[in-house]
Amino acid sequence: MEPTLKGIDSKDSFLTIQDVVWVNRLKKNPEKLDTIVFISPTNRHDMMIKRVIGVEGERVRFPKINDGKYFLIPKNYFCVGSDNINKNIVKDSSSFGAIPNGLIIGKATHIIWPPNRWRKLI
């Protein structure tokens, strides 16, 4: 486990630009609602942190993808959603689709910096 990335600058998000999170790299099979860190499917040099909103075998629907029709999440794939409600800058499964398990780095478990924001992530 190690601290790996900072949050985004949004008052509507559970993370802020100053937050540093602890990532459990042993937890690579996330469950629904886990907060995960993964390699961006659109830029392999970037990492992202998002909440799991769908797991393999579930049906999900995104208005921008597949003409808004439901699709089945394939085996070893996950859908992630953003806690940021600013829809103009959201980058999640609604814009890039389901992500393969192989891109997952681990589960974000705690905010560890700054000290006044230390807490467990749900």
Average pLDDT over residues 58-62: 89
What is the residue range of 67's domain? 2-120
Contact (Cβ atoms closer than 8 angstroms) between residue 105 and residue 93: no
How many domains does the chain fold into? 1
Tell me the pLDDT band of 3, cut-offs 50, 70 and 90.
Answer: very low
Q: How confident is the model at residue 12, as a pLDDT?
A: 45
73 pLDDT higher than 80: yes
Q: Report how far residue 35's alpha carbon sits from residue 12's, in angstroms, rounded to the nearest whole number.
A: 16
Q: What is the pLDDT of residues 90-122, one digit of tens each?
A: 788 888 889 999 999 999 998 888 788 878 887
Q: What is the pTM of this model?
A: 0.79
Structure token pair of residue 95: 């814009």
CATH number of residue 47's parent domain = 2.10.109.10
Q: What is the mean pLDDT of the chain?
A: 81
